Structure 1
Amino acid sequence: MDELPVVVVGAGPAGLAAAAQAVARGLPVVVLEAGPSAGTGVREWHHVRLFSRWGEVVAPAAEELLAPTGWRIPDAGSCPTGAEWAESYLQPLADVLGDRVRYGARVVGVSRHGWDRSVDRARDTEPLSVRVVTADGEERILARAVIDASGTWSAPNPLGGDGLPALGETAAADRITHRVPDLTDPAVRRRYAGRRIALAGSGHSALTALVAFAELAEQHPDTHVQWLLRRGAVGTTFGGGDADQLPARGALGMRAAQAVRAGRITTVTGFRTARVDRTDDGRVVLSSFGDRRLGPVDEVVALTGFRPDLSWLSEVRLDLDPTLQAPRELAPLIDPNVHSCGTVHPHGARELAQPEPGLFLVGMKSYGRAPTFLALTGYEQTRSVVAAIAGDRDAADRVELVLPETGVCGGAGLVDAPGDDAGGCCGPAEPLVVGTRPSAAG
């Protein structure tokens, strides 16, 4: 199998970083991207500015691969938009990788070549088989290893507070979006200006939307937002402010808090949507599991997070945490009910590997339903995983992470009861170096 390629699923930040690592180690690699270009998912939120700086969103191996072309980091201290990240980094990196990257190649299944998941025989000797659909039809690619870096962008969580679409949510889909609206687009701006909007979510996407809607309301005073939180109190939703070591992330929270104080945003806590009903004039009314009603509103923006699509991995053996749907060994290290201050412990190939030999989940996909994933984490994951595939176990186990503190303690936001989110406990932020894990024996 040494002559077979490493197959990477997804030409996003983590997938292209994995490919760059493979090239650096002289491994054959194929990147399969369902979209027409590098960073297809990133381009869909092109108008959103990252809170990580350029120097934190470029993989070291990728920078080395790009250097001979004359490429340089645009401005290490500034924060790119999604469009800038895709156009100024991801696409040039994919171009350098050349025909190793295949566009319009959708992976629809992975299996052990010639065997389904119930058969033990040959799982260590036969290659993995990747089923791909392209414009020309179906094909099968044999691989020495598969790195799933497909992310979670294609599978947003529903509005429903129980994890399922709320009753009537599908029928009201024309009034509901699961993306941060691009209010710089005139057509999108007209859709929301002067309207009553329900915004559900408490993460950074929701804060970004709050700020954007507040600015819209300044120009169109009839615009009003009802901000729906499933948790029982606002608590640390706005983040750590000045204590956040990513200044743009802290500033986002402070701007969102200011937007709420300005008066055109009403905060509704403890609201877990159960039902969506259409009114005679086409608007919608939301009902909670506690029989509270909200509305009618003209538009609903549901920014309630994402979940991994595991459907095309049904014929390989997975060991995932039953709560987060992340690799079982990784889950307790990233549990958002516990970790919020950059306290994610060093992890790499050993935590990301699956019972199926040669299969690894990396990037956003590896976090399952856990939020607050940083590109820095994905780049270190791919370095460790590719080292393991190459047989360099010492390098694979030498995992180092330097994570920026959020300035918030006590969990990242999956809590619901008011008393479970008492606020930040962090003092002034200091760099947190989450050490080096010793090489494992054996």
Structure 2
Amino acid sequence: MRRGTLAAQDGQAASGQTGDLPVVVIGAGPVGLAAAAHLAERGIDFTVLEAGDRVAASVARWGHVRVFSPYRYNIDAAARRLLEADGWSAPDADWLPTGAELIDDYLAPLAKLFGDRVRLGAEVTAISRLGYDRVRTTGRDQAPFLIRLDDGAELRARAIIDASGTYTSPNVLGASGLPAHGEHEAVVDHALPDVLGADRDRYEGKRVLVVGAGHSAATTLLALADLENTPITWAIRAGDATRTYGGGAADALPARGALGTRLRAHVASGRIQLLTGFFTHRVNATDQGVEVISRDPSGHEQTVTVDRIVSATGYRPDHSIASELRLDLDPVLGSTRALAPLIDPNQHSCGTVPAHGAAELAHPEPRYYAVGVKSYGRAPTFLMATGYEQVRSVVAAIAGDWEAARDVRLDLPETGVCSSSLAEAQEQRVGLTTGISGGLLSTPIPVTTVGGGCCG
């Protein structure tokens, strides 16, 4: 969408039937709560709907994992201003927080500022326009949004910021975007189990297969390597693991570089068996364990038999709640058409994505914006700081401040490690339902390895 059309798309934001209604934010993760902070600063009424029973419920699912970037890059500017005005003391700027620390030190205190405007256990099942299905046009722009929850309750909104993420819609284990034969009957664990903590008994002493070439796969592999008598097999579709190993000491985020360096060493030593060119085709339960069969495009087969499978093949957006809205989605990535060429993983790494905001995130449905990791569809190039700039611009647009909405800026170091072929793009990141956008993750490492970088 051209920037010049932004005001025309959202000209009804504060007028007509919708002016007295709140903005509804879907998801109480980092990006959703950042949106709430920007709305609060502008004096715009809002409600945050969180499907989980706690703030950042999806972040809590990987609470044992430490992020790549220090706190200085993980706190939204508006959120910081509100928190500091309330007497909050920021965590050590150089500390690499775990997911649990991110919640306890930052997200929970931020949500507390908003009181009952953050509603927990409020899962959105559908969004429409009051009195309008997707076909009806006349008067549509002036009609409020209608949001339906899983308990049957309904509420109205003047605008919607969807930061619900992708954590509940993981990609399948099978290649070619299709489930492997027998996949749904098998027990498959999804990314980032707590291998050294709560889930230890499920993996220790077992034969474990990890499928995926992204950082979540690397995190799990390194944790498994610390368990005794636990044979580990790592399967990727690529011909080698260079992309997963990343930039090593040259990485702009040292914690991320250390992850790849450690993983390469385990593969070289034989602690982790690497299978390349692995296209999961069939999963069979046998007396000897779970048989996983690969069949590559040429018909060549590989077979491995294990006790447990961890599928770290990434996530994809689920736009079903907005099926009655008029969305203009790129047919490849599932982002908006305007955003797609800016985030194309064939052209960009996470550090080279241009700044973008409300103009690129707008749909033909005025005042509906998907933000955070959900906005990127299947592209792996998302970072948390990108989400913060997105919601700053979107909130400015909702407020009618077109100058601020168009003035988008993002300063990210080019790391190169987020580049990937589209075929493996979904394996490169972790997308989280509550909007933690782009959690590039690492196992715990000494804080002394921290240097400059962008965001988690």
Length-normalised TM-score, structure 1: 0.89
- 2:225 is the alignment partner of 1:214: yes
2:231 and 2:287 map into 1 onto residues whose CA distance is 21
- 2:165 is the alignment partner of 1:151: yes
> Which of 207, 211, 227 lines up with 1:196 in the alignment?
207
- 2:194 is the alignment partner of 1:177: no
Instruction: Give the residue type in structure 1 aligned to 2:64.
Output: H
Deviation larger for 201-210 or 21-30: 201-210
2:294 and 2:286 map into 1 onto residues whose CA distance is 13
User: Which whole-Å deviations, capped at 9, do the CAs of 1:132-178 have from their partners, x for residues lacking one?
Assistant: 23xxx3222111100000000111111011212211001012xx101
- 2:31 is the alignment partner of 1:14: yes
What is the deviation of 1:258?
1.7
> Which of 255, 259, 263 lines up with 1:252 in the alignment?
259
Alignment correspondent of 2:174: 160
1:279 and 1:285 in contact (8 A); partners too: no
What is the deviation of 1:98?
0.7
1:249 and 1:405 map into 2 onto residues whose CA distance is 13
- 2:301 is the alignment partner of 1:284: no
User: Which whole-Å deviations, capped at 9, do the CAs of 1:309-360 have from their partners, x for residues lacking one?
Assistant: 1111110011111111111111111111221261101100000111101100
2:289 and 2:269 map into 1 onto residues whose CA distance is 29
1:337 and 1:415 in contact (8 A); partners too: no
Gaps of 5+ in 1: 417-429, 434-442
2:146 and 2:417 map into 1 onto residues whose CA distance is 44
Alignment correspondent of 1:205: 216
Shift >6 Å, 4+ stretches: 430-433
Instruction: Give the residue type in structure 2 aligned to 1:215.
Output: D
* Aligned CA-pair RMSD: 1.8
What is the deviation of 1:236?
2.3
Identical aligned residues as a percent: 54
**Partner secondary structure for residue 284 of structure 1:** strand
- 2:254 is the alignment partner of 1:240: no
1:243 and 1:407 in contact (8 A); partners too: no
Alignment correspondent of 2:105: 88
User: Which whole-Å deviations, capped at 9, do the CAs of 1:46-78 have from their partners, x for residues lacking one?
Assistant: 111100111111111111111122212211111
1:138 and 1:402 map into 2 onto residues whose CA distance is 43
- Residues 79-158 of structure 1 aligned to structure 2 (within 5 Å): 79-133=96-150, 137-158=151-172
2:162 and 2:369 in contact (8 A); partners too: yes
2:403 and 2:452 map into 1 onto residues whose CA distance is 26
Gaps of 5+ in 2: 1-17, 425-450
> Which of 397, 408, 411 lines up with 1:402 in the alignment?
411
1:51 and 1:316 map into 2 onto residues whose CA distance is 36
Count of residue correspondences: 409
Alignment correspondent of 2:232: 225
**Partner secondary structure for residue 66 of structure 1:** helix
Instruction: Give the residue type in structure 2 aligned to 1:367.
Output: Y
**Partner secondary structure for residue 241 of structure 2:** coil
> Which of 23, 44, 48 lines up with 1:31 in the alignment?
48
2:348 and 2:121 map into 1 onto residues whose CA distance is 37
**Partner secondary structure for residue 327 of structure 1:** coil
User: Which whole-Å deviations, capped at 9, do the CAs of 1:10-46 have from their partners, x for residues lacking one?
Assistant: 0011100001100000100000001111100000001
Instruction: Give the residue type in structure 2 aligned to 1:359.
Output: Y
1:357 and 1:194 map into 2 onto residues whose CA distance is 54
What is the deviation of 1:122?
1.5
**Partner secondary structure for residue 403 of structure 2:** helix
Alignment correspondent of 2:436: none
Alignment correspondent of 1:384: 393
Alignment correspondent of 2:441: none
1:99 and 1:408 map into 2 onto residues whose CA distance is 41
1:223 and 1:264 in contact (8 A); partners too: no
1:27 and 1:178 map into 2 onto residues whose CA distance is 38
1:372 and 1:407 map into 2 onto residues whose CA distance is 10
- 2:420 is the alignment partner of 1:412: yes
Change (3 A) 1:292 1:129: same
Alignment correspondent of 2:7: none
**Partner secondary structure for residue 401 of structure 1:** coil
> Which of 326, 331, 348 lines up with 2:335 in the alignment?
326
Length-normalised TM-score, structure 2: 0.86
User: Which whole-Å deviations, capped at 9, do the CAs of 1:71-117 have from their partners, x for residues lacking one?
Assistant: 12211111100111112111111111111100111101111110000
**Partner secondary structure for residue 115 of structure 2:** helix
Change (3 A) 1:431 1:13: closer
> Which of 364, 371, 385 lines up with 1:362 in the alignment?
371
1:13 and 1:90 in contact (8 A); partners too: yes
1:210 and 1:259 in contact (8 A); partners too: no
1:291 and 1:313 map into 2 onto residues whose CA distance is 41
Instruction: Give the residue type in structure 1 aligned to 2:220.
Output: A
Deviation larger for 383-392 or 232-241: 232-241
1:403 and 1:431 in contact (8 A); partners too: no
> Which of 269, 276, 298 lines up with 1:269 in the alignment?
276
What is the deviation of 1:285?
2.9
**Partner secondary structure for residue 351 of structure 1:** helix
User: Which whole-Å deviations, capped at 9, do the CAs of 1:200-252 have from their partners, x for residues lacking one?
Assistant: 11111011112112222xxx1x3222111112222322111222221111111
